[in-house]
Amino acid sequence: MAAVTLLSATGITRDFGGLRAVDQVDFELPEGQIRALIGPNGAGKTTFVNLLCGRLAPSAGRIVFAGEDVTRLPAHARIARGMAYTFQITSIFAALSLYDNVALAAQRRLAAGEGLGAAVAAALGRVGLAGRADQTAGDLSYGHQRLLEIAMGLAQRPRLLILDEPTQGLSDAEIEDFIALIRSVARDATILLIEHNMDVVMTLAERITVMDFGAVLAEGTPGEIKADRAVRIAYLGG
């Protein structure tokens, strides 16, 4: 099956004052792929995905999502078209219950709240938080808050799920569950993963994009990236 392009970015650039954080990046993501985005700290990864989902406006360039030019669309409109973004720094509604957190993610696509309870239960169940719906989100442990964040991503049933450092602060056992979870999610969504944990990247990703100094340094399969000299020098430390 020839892969359809879900998301493409051409010439994406972003300046902060005199500093160019993202420089002329071309990026293409086919539907159904698990893509990892790696690079050293300050390489511009988070800025780049923030440009993709609309939290930041690009200084130049064009973004097409599902065949539509979304460059000028505000973040909420892009999310409504099927992107989902989970935050690097856990960003949940700490004062609300788990139910309300996930319901907020799910209710937008459900007409008149129909089947909302079931959708929330399903999303919580998939991340292993079933039965905790009435707890207050802020009372959860850090690892569980990360899982809730992912449940909120799932509940949106996105076409593209952007995960910004999802395994940060998780234990080894939790990371294994996470890998299995992402594999199952990938059956009906495209995944863009910013990740520092190389084991997670090499296990999950079908293709890897490497960024450095705001530009794309290399792109390829995990095997190709491992073999790439430039990547090793810039990033993996030789």
What residues make contact with another protein under the rule CB under 8 A? 16-17, 53, 55, 74-77, 79-80, 85, 87, 91-96, 99-100, 103-105, 107-108, 113, 116-117, 152, 156
Asked whether the beta carbons of 231 and 225 are under 8 A apart, the reply is: yes
CB nearer to another protein: give 20 or 226: 20
Q: For tokens 């810039």, name the residue.
A: 234
CB nearer to another protein: give 49 or 231: 49
Distance, CA of 115 to CA of 127 (rounded, Å):
19
Containing H/E element for 221? none
Q: Least distance in Å: CB of 86 to another protein?
A: 9
Q: What are phi and psi of 64, to 5 degrees?
A: -120, 125
Q: Least distance in Å: CB of 141 to another protein?
A: 19
CB nearer to another protein: give 108 or 232: 108
CB nearer to another protein: give 156 or 209: 156
Q: Least distance in Å: CB of 53 to another protein?
A: 7
Residue 2: exposure state from Cβ atoms within 10 A (0-12, 13-18, ≥19): exposed
Distance, CA of 193 to CA of 189 (rounded, Å):
12
Q: Least distance in Å: CB of 221 to another protein?
A: 31
